[in-house]
Amino acid sequence: MAIKRYDREGRKSSYGVMWRVDGKRKFRFFQNRSLREDFFRELQRQERKVGRSILEISSEEAVIMKRCLELMGTPEKVLLACQEISEKSSVKLCPASKAVSEHLAEKRELGRDSNYERAVRKMLERALDKFGESLSEWSDAAAREWRLELSGEFKPVTVRNHLKKTAAFVRWCMSRKYMAANPFANLEIPGVVMPEPQFLSVADTKKLFLAAQESYPQTVAYLALGAFAGIRSSSTAQLGMEGINFEQRGILIMASQAKNKRRVYLDGHEPNLWAWLEWARDHAPEGFSLTKRQWDRIRRELASEAKVKMPHNALRHSFCTYHTALYGDAGRTATLLTHKGNVSILYEHYRGNASKPQAQEYFSVFPGTRQG
pLDDT digits (tens, 9 = 90+) for 166-205: 999 999 999 988 988 899 988 888 776 666 678 899 999 9
Distance CA 170, CA 183 (A): 8
Half-sphere exposure of 354 (CA within 13 A, CB side): 28
Q: Are 358 and 325 in contact (CB under 8 A)?
A: yes
Q: Give the separation between CA 351 and CA 364, rounded to whole angstroms.
A: 20
Cβ count within 10 A of residue 28: 17
CA distance 340 to 141: 41
Cα-based distances in Å from 83 to 69, 91, 94, 186, 341: 15, 13, 21, 19, 43
Cβ atoms within 10 Å of 315's Cβ, excluding its own: 27
Nearest to 24 by CA among 49, 58, 47, 51: 58
Phi-psi domain of 341 (left: phi exceeds 0; alpha: psi -120 through 50; beta: other): left
Instruction: Report the pLDDT value the prediction gives residue 83, as an integer from 0 to 100.
Output: 66
Extended strands (E) in the chain: 4-7, 15-21, 24-30, 244-245, 250-253, 264-267
Q: How far is Cα 74 from Cα 72, in angstroms, rounded to an integer?
A: 6
Sign of CA dihedral 246, 248, 250, 254: negative
Question: What is the DSSP pairing of strand 244-245 with strand 24-30?
Answer: unpaired
Rg for the chain (alpha carbons), in Å?
Answer: 35
State how far Cα 200 lies from the chain centre.
31
Domain locations along the chain: 4-89, 96-175, 202-362
Per-residue confidence (pLDDT) for residue 219, from 0 to 100: 93
Distance CA 204, CA 224 (A): 14
By CB atoms closer than 10 A (0-12, 13-18, 19+), residue 344 is exposed
- Residue 354: Cβ-neighbour burial (10 angstroms; 0-12, 13-18, 19+): buried
CA trace torsion 66, 68, 73, 79 (10° rounding): -110
| Residue 239 near residue 292 (C-beta atoms within 8 A) | no
Which pLDDT score is estimated for 166? 95
CATH number of 202-362: 1.10.443.10
Kindly list the averaged pLDDT for each block of 10 residues, start to end, along the chain of length 372: 80 85 81 88 77 59 76 76 63 89 90 81 94 91 92 88 93 90 86 73 94 94 93 80 89 70 82 95 91 89 93 89 88 76 64 88 87 54
| Distances from the Cα of 306 to the Cα of 123, 216, 290, 293, angstroms | 37, 10, 20, 20
Is the Cα dihedral 220, 226, 231, 234 positive or negative?
positive
Q: Both ends of the chain: CA-CA distance in Å?
A: 101
Phi and psi torsions of 140, nearest 5°: -60, -45
DSSP letter assigned to residue 261? S
Measured from the Cβ of residue 2, the count of other Cβ atoms closer than 10 Å reads 8
**Residue-level pLDDT at 255:** 66
Length reported for the chain:
372
**φ, ψ (nearest 5 deg) of residue 123:** -65, -45
